[in-house]
Chains A and B, each alone.
Chain A
Amino acid sequence: MKMYDLIIIGAGPAGITASVYAARKGMRLLVISRDIGGQAAWSGDVENYTGYQFISGPELAAKFEEHLRRFQLELREGETVIDISKDGEQVVVRTSENLYQSKTAIISSGKSSRELNVPGEKEFKNKGLTYCATCDGPLFLGKKVAVIGGGNSALDAAIQLMRIARHVYVINNSEELGGDSLMREKVLAAANVTVYNHTRVKAVLGEKFVGALVIHGKGSEEKLGVEGVFVEIGLIPNSQFAGGIQKNEIGEIKVNSLNETSAPGIFAAGDVTDVAQKQIIIAAGEGAKAALSAFNYLVQHKFSS
């Protein structure tokens, strides 16, 4: 079986930046990812990535990909990693289709949308209920929609949707909206946005497609007629496959300042880790650090094979 120097799991900002650094170091590299661009590709407007005063998430992700594809590297797109473990000095990565061996690995598998876990959510997924305003938002032109959540990703979705939909209801379960004040002000100033604070979603209703939401406010239950539901209630780390590696209480992989995990030779970077602040630019920087740490590990370790 082929022995790689480095396997990078995930191709979001962290994984792509790590790939660029590793490729430039001449490492034998394999990148395995379900998609390219990660959460950056699903973001709306990005106004805090240095060098771009304004760029959309999909455009920034396309720039990242362009940079990645400059290098001759092996890319397995669409494969899902199901296990990573150490076998002696080697790292073994198992996917739904294959088994790979490497001297080092970087886990940069990011985060995925958290689900509501209410009746109707599974039935109406892609039938009006979605986790990606950037992707599916344009289909709701002139319709009434609801955004579930009150943080930055919910505000981002609301800002995208208020330009498309007839009316946007923001269903927020805490006392007040969170997120950045600039985004909050945009949402609160919009004439076609109504914010429901301290309100929970109880169920998603409809026939073939979403027709309404049942929401529960302060002591009262209400039926809200909407054709679109955008779930933006936060994220969970994609770290389930890394069973033997130490994580924090919310499942994020623990790393030190060199991006080392509890398993020697396995590094981690970006939103899947417990690093403070989840930002595109931070994930990218962490990816660079992880690649350099992996390179140093290769230089410092004698491998028998």
Chain B
Amino acid sequence: MDKKVKIYSTPTCPFCIRAKQYLKDNNVVFEDVDVSGNQQAAEEMVSKSGQMGVPVLDIDGEIIVGFDKDRISQLLGL
């Protein structure tokens, strides 16, 4: 898997946990950015996605809001 995957999440959001589990189950290496209490990361997420809901995935610059399994698997070729 060559694509750079970043996930903006909070520790308590169920769909963040599901999204991360989905990536792990498919052996996708990803960077997990906890936006709770990290203002800078939170702002980065908001400016990239234009909204404030978590999770947000950044797959090689493509932004996915929410745990959209179909788009994630499509972009990663899973």
Using a CB–CB distance below 8 Å, which chain A residues touch chain B? 35-37, 41-42, 56-58, 61-62, 77-78, 126-128, 130, 132, 134-139, 141-142, 208-209
Contacts and interface: CB of A to CB of B under 8 A. Distances in A.
Interface residues of B, number: 22
B18 A136 contact: no
Interface string B38-78: 01001000100011111000000000010001000000000
Interface string B13-42: 111111000000000000000011101001
Given A134-B12, A139-B36, 4 more contacts: A130-B52, A134-B13, A135-B10, A138-B12
A130 B53 contact: yes
Contacts of B36: 138-139, 141
B14 to A, nearest CB: 4
B14 A139 contact: no
A135 B14 contact: yes
9 closest A-B pairs (Cβ-Cβ)?
A138-B36, A135-B13, A126-B53, A41-B14, A126-B51, A138-B10, A134-B12, A58-B12, A127-B51
A127 B11 CA distance: 20
Nearest to A208: B50
A128 B52 contact: yes
A134 B16 CA distance: 12
Contacts of A56: 12
Contacts of A77: 18, 69
Nearest to A57: B12
Given A78-B69, A141-B36, A141-B39, A135 B52 contact: no
Given A126-B53, A134-B12, A58 B17 contact: yes
Nearest to A138: B36
A142 B37 CA distance: 9
A58 B14 CA distance: 7
Contact of B53 (A61, A136, A208): A136
Given A127-B52, A128-B52, A135-B54, A36 B35 contact: no
Given A35-B18, A62-B17, A141-B37, A209 B12 contact: no
Contacts of B69: 77-78
A35 B14 contact: yes
5 contacts: A35-B14, A62-B17, A135-B13, A138-B35, A139-B54
A137 B16 CA distance: 14
